[in-house]
Amino acid sequence: EADTAAALAFAALGRPYPSEVLRDAWVDVLFSHFHDILPGSCVPDTRTFNQGTFQRVAAATGMIKTNSLRALAAAVDTGFAGKPDDCCVCPVDTANGFGGGPGRGTMGGDISSATLVVDGPRPFVIFNPTSWKRDEVVKVSVWDAQTGICPGPLEKKTFVVKSPDGKVIPAQRTDFGEYWGHRYADLVFPVSVGPLAYTTYSIEEGEAEEPKSQVTLTMDAEGKDRINLPAGSVTMENEYIKVSFDKLSGGIKSLVDKRTGRDVADPDNPMGILEFVQERPQGGSAWVTGTPAKCVCPLELTGFGAGEIGGWSTRIEDQKPYVATVRANGHVSNSTFTVLYQLKAGQPWLEITVEVRWFERGSHETGIPRLAIRFPMGFTGESALYEIPYGTLERKAMNGREVPSLRWADVRTKDGCLAVLNDSRYSHSYDGRTLRVALLRSTYSPDPLPEIGDHRIRFAIAPHSEDVTTADLIRAGAAFNQPLQVVSTDVHAGKLPSVLEDGVSCAESNVIVTQLKRAEDSDELVFRLQETAGTTTTAHVTLSEALFGKVSAAVEADLIERALPESSAALSGNGFSVKVDVFGIVTVKVTSVT
């Protein structure tokens, strides 16, 4: 993401490319790939040092993304938002009218949710970091500028979303709170953003006609509210899927793909719930998974209901029209957890966020506690498909043996299909009926306390038809790991249009543009492509002239960016064509005149 953002700002604006900062960040990342750091079989000092280098990488990449995208946003024309009447601004308050929020949302190298404008129209530019069109629900944060134009408590205000074509829709508020002395409100609304492109919206105070709810949450209660546990059903639904929950376990007892009519869940064995296992003691605990001594599933819940704990509202009626949330809270042994299930309008997957405060300790006397999330299915399969670097690998069901996978794993049969996406956990197991993903494991040698602390892990489960391709799954996994990027700006004229529909696009659906960066040794731009269907293909890639100027040359290169003596790359329109072999990886260096 940092490479891509910096390359876009370099190509469109001539902004200096941060080569040295990126190189140093890559050195830190590759150091963490040492064979005892990567799997977690290292001593405590090594882990502590690596956590420090990760913070350095996060700071560097977050800074590059933020500065590059803010520079692009400053060049985007946001004049459609209009300006507030200057005479309405209280001069004494103007110094406090630049919002707040620096630092909020920057964990892990993400972009700050800070906004830097006075009260009134608040433009946001939303960037798509991937090379295909995205239709999703996005979150923005507005802050309490309080410049005198629109006084009053932020939590009592309502907001609308205005697009450059003049359309106005209501924003859904999902949270409000305080961050270092400034009040904020989190708002969500649906957007459509082209491949490696952007769109612009303005957030304004006001009201708009509420659209027909695109996502619904129903919690049917039997008897009076708050008297014992309601025995009615809990259901979330959007255009694509319908989800029903088991309130005893907090898991999913029904997951219907409305496009196929198939229910991929097992009502007697809910999916998306946590499993606690205590392994028997053994030598080399950090290297070898042991035999279970006991297993607890489902875990005991202390609460189940609508909305997020600490969120602005847990009322059912506030879980619409774009996002609905159900939460399950519980504990096991010395640890506590929250599982959030979130369904968004227009998205054919259910998001699951696991938040754990883990206080479990392993020992030679008691064994090794571990936590996993399980996805039992309403059908059986002989194998699962797993993502590997720049490819996939099908593995037979191995009676629960753990195997590696990157951003997704997929089970596909004639009776049902389910993909499980993740953002940070890579040990999977499939036994023919249940897919598990390992979350935490408290080994005791060589590190006696490797997992203590707070953890946040995101998943998505996507039922689908047998027509879904490997390329579709790769795109889904990448999109889940690379959210749309939101940058606040002010009202201004700019040389770039308010909406860019296509930045970089590939005409062939089985070929994906996976990377954009500047070359290490020249000002050329480097594009990396991947073939996903097992078919030799001539790919045609088109570049936006607004961002990249006129393409004047294209040459095929190897993975370390040396031009190949025999290149299949050729100019094609304002872009290039190149041959991509079966499951191949291709690198193309492009020269443009800006």
CATH code of the domain in which 201 resides: 2.60.40.1180
Between the ranges 35-49, 220-234, 362-376, where is the mean pLDDT highest?
Answer: 362-376
Query: 253 and 206, same structural domain?
Result: no
Q: How many CB atoms lie within 10 A of CB 389?
A: 6
Query: 206 and 170, same structural domain?
Result: yes
Q: Which two tokens stand for residue 401?
A: 């043996």
Query: 144 and 105, same structural domain?
Result: yes
Identify the band that residue 145 occupies on the pLDDT scale cut at 50, 70 and 90.
Answer: low
**277, part of any domain:** yes
Query: Picking from 27-41, 315-329, 471-485, which range would have the lowest pLDDT averaged per residue?
Result: 315-329
Opening angle at CA 235, ends 232 and 241, nearest 5: 155
Query: 275 and 334, same structural domain?
Result: yes
Last residue of a domain, one of 74, 101, 127: 74
Identify the band that residue 310 occupies on the pLDDT scale cut at 50, 70 and 90.
Answer: low
Write the DSSP symbol of residue 271. B
Residue 305's closest CA among 313, 294, 295, 297? 313
What is the C-alpha to C-alpha distance for residues 463 and 257, in angstroms, rounded to an integer? 6
**68, part of any domain:** yes
Identify the band that residue 87 occupies on the pLDDT scale cut at 50, 70 and 90.
Answer: very low
Residue 310's closest CA among 217, 145, 178, 180? 178
**473, part of any domain:** no
Q: Is the pLDDT at 45 greater than 70, yes or no?
A: yes
- Residue-level pLDDT at 92: 42
> If you average pLDDT over residues 447-474, what whole number do you get?
96
Domain containing residue 276 = 216-468
Are 271 and 265 a contacting pair, CB within 8 Å? yes
**475, part of any domain:** no
CATH code where residue 559 lies = 2.60.40.2220
Q: Which two tokens stand for residue 35?
A: 């064979």
**44-53 long-range CB contacts below 8 Å, 24 or more apart?**
44/447, 44/448, 44/449, 44/450, 47/447, 47/450, 53/28
What is the C-alpha to C-alpha distance for residues 176 and 156, in angstroms, rounded to an integer? 10
**474, part of any domain:** no
Query: 207 and 304, same structural domain?
Result: no
Residue 503's closest CA among 548, 550, 551? 548
Averaged pLDDT of the chain: 90
**421, part of any domain:** yes
CATH code where residue 276 lies = 2.70.98.30
> If you average pLDDT over residues 196-210, what whole number do you get?
93
**182, part of any domain:** yes
- Residue-level pLDDT at 119: 65
Q: Cβ neighbours of residue 268 under 8 Å, at least 6 residues apart?
A: none
Q: Is the pLDDT at 154 greater than 80, yes or no?
A: no
Q: Is the pLDDT at 487 greater than 80, yes or no?
A: yes
3-state secondary structure 359-387: CCCCECCCEEEEEEEEEECCCCCCEEEEE
- Residue-level pLDDT at 40: 86
- Residue-level pLDDT at 95: 43
Query: 440 and 564, same structural domain?
Result: no
What is the C-alpha to C-alpha distance for residues 201 and 78, in angstroms, rounded to an integer? 8
- Residue-level pLDDT at 38: 87
- Residue-level pLDDT at 147: 52
Q: Is the pLDDT at 13 greater than 90, yes or no?
A: yes
Q: How many domains does the chain have?
A: 4
Give per-residue pLDDT as tens, 344-384. 999 999 999 999 999 999 999 999 999 999 999 999 999 99
Q: Is the pLDDT at 88 greater than 80, yes or no?
A: no
Give per-residue pLDDT as tens, 491-549. 999 999 999 999 999 999 999 999 999 999 999 999 999 999 999 999 999 999 999 99
> If you average pLDDT over residues 74-92, what whole number do you get?
71
- Higher-confidence residue of 555 and 184: namely 555
Query: 374 and 246, same structural domain?
Result: yes
Q: Is the pLDDT at 442 greater than 70, yes or no?
A: yes
Write the DSSP symbol of residue 410. E
DSSP 443-509: --SS-S-SS-EEEEEEEEEEE--TT--HHHHHHHHHHHHS--EEEE--S---SB-S-BS-SEEES-T
Give per-residue pLDDT as tens, 536-565. 999 999 999 999 999 999 999 999 999 999
- Give Rg (Cα) of the chain: 25
Identify the band that residue 99 occupies on the pLDDT scale cut at 50, 70 and 90.
Answer: low
Q: Is the pLDDT at 225 greater than 80, yes or no?
A: no
Are 377 and 265 a contacting pair, CB within 8 Å? yes
Query: 244 and 315, same structural domain?
Result: yes
- Higher-confidence residue of 315 and 64: namely 64
Give the side-chain half-sphere CA count within 13 A for 240.
13
Q: How large a percentage of the chain has pLDDT more than 70?
A: 91
Q: What is the dihedral of CA 358, 364, 366, 369, to 10 degrees?
A: 30
Q: Is 314 exposed, middle or buried (0-12, 13-18, 19+ CB in 10 A)?
A: middle
Identify the band that residue 153 occupies on the pLDDT scale cut at 50, 70 and 90.
Answer: confident
Q: How large a percentage of the chain has pLDDT more than 90?
A: 78
Identify the band that residue 394 occupies on the pLDDT scale cut at 50, 70 and 90.
Answer: very high
Query: Picking from 81-90, 174-183, 216-225, 289-298, which range would have the lowest pLDDT averaged per residue?
Result: 81-90
Query: 294 and 423, same structural domain?
Result: yes
Query: 81 and 66, same structural domain?
Result: no
Query: Picking from 195-204, 230-239, 308-317, 553-562, which range would have the lowest pLDDT averaged per residue?
Result: 308-317
- Residue-level pLDDT at 150: 58
Q: Cβ neighbours of residue 67 under 8 Å, at least 6 residues apart?
A: 9
Last residue of a domain, one of 47, 74, 101: 74
Last residue of a domain, one of 41, 74, 107: 74
Are 290 and 280 a contacting pair, CB within 8 Å? yes
**245, part of any domain:** yes
Dihedral over Cα of 208, 213, 214, 218: its sign: positive
Query: 329 and 458, same structural domain?
Result: yes
Query: 168 and 99, same structural domain?
Result: yes
